Amino acid sequence: MNMYVYMMKIWRNKSSRLFDMQTFGLKFIIVILWFITGDECRAITVQTGGSVIIPCHYESKYTQHKKYCCYHSIGYYHYCSILAYANETKGDVSVIDHPDQSLFTVTMRNLKWKNTGTFWCAVEIEGIVYMDVKEQLYLKIQSAPDLSVKSSSVTVDEGGNISVQCLYSVKYKNKHKQWCRYKDKRCYTVGRSDTSQNASVEISDDGRGSLTVVMSGLMKSESGWYYCSVGDLQAPVQLTVNVAKVSVGNLQTPVELNDAEPSTAAVSTDVSTKQLWVQKQFCLSKDKN
């Protein structure tokens, strides 16, 4: 009986070692695959108790696929928990798909220090294990964020200008700073004047924790998501450019004057126009006499 127990212990120890080796081999393969896929990792800092909206772009061929956001504190995608799918809200997380823009946004509210960790924006590819199209994001919750923006959403009419202020901590003072567009990854560097399609872009750094981006002469095509980039950190900003509305009072087309009293809808309320109408009525009455 003792010999039997002894043999069973040996077998269990061998099985345990074999399982450990297989597990190690599996983990090693997963790590190698992670490096091969080359997941890009964005880092975003958010103030404790605050919120953030994160844009996640995808190729137009994935318009009909499911999108989701998942989280794992340590950073293991294969064990991450799905927080929400597109067009649903679960707790403090909302995911909204914008197929016309080939992107979906992830909104996280009431963030706490415990929410610090790795998130993934992902597009579900059915039938292929662990091969969903994904983008990695590291979210760090801080009482005083290393990088933030004064306003994460800016709206302007066509032809107008915007100014975006990005605030960074002292330890990022000497880091590389840029203003970039998510869609095409085009970036503009501090100290240079550049042109984005029709808009002029200027970036200045005061060297004391404030980066200012000025975009002038904006057109509708400039609408989209941008971000301040300082070192390895990003701060998303949504820019909306509205089509300029033409005011009736500014129309240069001539106004036709009728004998009858003009309606307010047909004739401008400009003083000179009223005077012309009065003069015409006076002349008409004089001719009749």
Distance CA 95, CA 6 (A): 57
Instruction: With residue 32 as reference, give the H or E element that holds it.
Output: helix 2-37
| Mean pLDDT for the stretch of residues 118-129 | 86
Q: What CATH number matches the domain at 147-242, 1.10.730.10, 2.60.40.10, 3.40.190.10, 2.40.37.10? A: 2.60.40.10
**Averaged over 266-272, what is the pLDDT?**
38
Q: Judge whether 41-142 and 147-242 match in fold.
A: yes
Query: Of 122 and 252, which is predicted with more confidence?
Result: 122
Percentage of the residues of the chain whose pLDDT score is greater than 70: 67
Confidence check: pLDDT of 73 > 50: yes
Residue-level pLDDT at 109? 97
> What pLDDT, in 10s, does the model give residues 37-55?
344 578 999 999 999 999 9
Asked whether 192 and 213 are in contact (CB, 8 A), the reply is: no
Give mean pLDDT, residues 232-239.
96
Fold exhibited by the domain 41-142: Immunoglobulin-like (2.60.40)
pTM of this structure: 0.70
> pLDDT at residue 61 above 80?
yes
pLDDT at 244: 74
Q: What is the pLDDT of residue 46?
A: 97
pLDDT score recorded for residue 174: 94
Sign for the CA dihedral angle at 110, 112, 116, 118 comes to negative
DSSP SS3 for 190 = coil
- Cβ pair 222, 188 in contact under 8 A: no
What average pLDDT does this structure show over 194-200?
70
**Contacting residues for 110 by C-beta, under 8 A, at least 6 apart:** 49, 51, 92
Grade residue 129 by pLDDT with cuts at 50, 70 and 90: low
In which band, very low, low, confident or very high, does the pLDDT at 78 lie, cut at 50, 70 and 90? confident
Average pLDDT, the chain: 78
Q: What is the pLDDT of residues 173-194, one digit of tens each?
A: 999 999 999 988 899 998 766 6
| Strands 52-57 and 210-216, bridge-based pairing | unpaired
**β-bridge mates for residue 88, sequence order:** 95
pLDDT tops 70 at residue 14:
no
Where along the chain do its domains lie?
41-142, 147-242
Average pLDDT over residues 100-108: 96
